[in-house]
Amino acid sequence: MPKYKLKSNAPLANHKNVINKIKISSIEKVELFSLAIPIDGEKKAKTALAKVIKCKIPSPGNCVVSVEQKLKLLRLAPEQALLYFSNQNLPQIQKTLQALKKSFYITEQSDAWSGIKVSGQQVIACLERICPIDLSYDSFGINCFARTSMEHLNTIIIRNKRTEFELFSGSSSAKSFLHAIETSAQNI
């Protein structure tokens, strides 16, 4: 019987580029877990997050950052959140996920998403061409996130710094997503 080896294949394969002083790079080695709150489980979910992650569950459309556990919790909808962290913290987070299992339905989503980091002084000019939301600093500050669409692709956008964003879209459309961002950067 032949022995097969599975090899991880990142959709954007460590892509890095600079266009018009905008740095564009793939986000690699991250983990994303969907946390679904069971019906009538909001109170139990709040208590579990306060105890395990030591943070309050954000309202839908908001994000909370746990510096202690090095993770972000994005509240996508009333019953759904997305836990986002570096895969180097996976052993520590596995314990966290185990503790949250009693209060949430948890699904690993890492391979379903592809991430791109964009940064630079002209990043807003680049993104405003393809992103239909107001990304001005007063409206969309650090650790703000939104679900939106860019070039007809569903997208999650997170602001990390004043001139740095992380964008996530479906991994099956990763190359189209990258093409849209790079084309926008070229046309500033």
* Helix, coil or strand: residue 96: helix
Q: Which residue has the higher pLDDT, 46 or 89?
A: 46
* Helix, coil or strand: residue 23: strand
Q: Which residue has the tokens 């836990």?
A: 83
| pLDDT recorded at residue 117 | 97
Tally the residues of the chain. Answer: 188
- Report pTM: 0.88
Residues 6+ apart with CB under 8 A from 174: 11, 12, 114
Rounded Cα gap, residues 60 and 127, in angstroms: 23
| pLDDT recorded at residue 25 | 97
Rounded Cα gap, residues 35 and 38, in angstroms: 10
Q: Residue 90 phi/psi, 5° resolution?
A: -55, -45
Count, in order, helices (H) and strands (E) of the chain.
Answer: 4, 11
Please, what are the domains in the chain? 16-28+112-186 (3.30.1360.120), 30-110 (3.30.70.1400)
At 130-185, the pLDDT tens digits run: 999 999 999 999 989 999 999 999 999 999 999 999 999 999 999 999 999 999 99
| pLDDT recorded at residue 26 | 95
Long-range contacts of 64-73 (CB under 8 A, 24+ apart): 64/143, 65/143, 69/93, 69/96, 72/143, 72/158, 73/35, 73/49
8 Å CB contact between 155 and 169: yes
Q: Residue 9 phi/psi, 5° resolution?
A: -130, 105
The answer to whether residue 10 scores a pLDDT higher than 80 is no
Helix (H) or strand (E) holding 105: strand 105-108
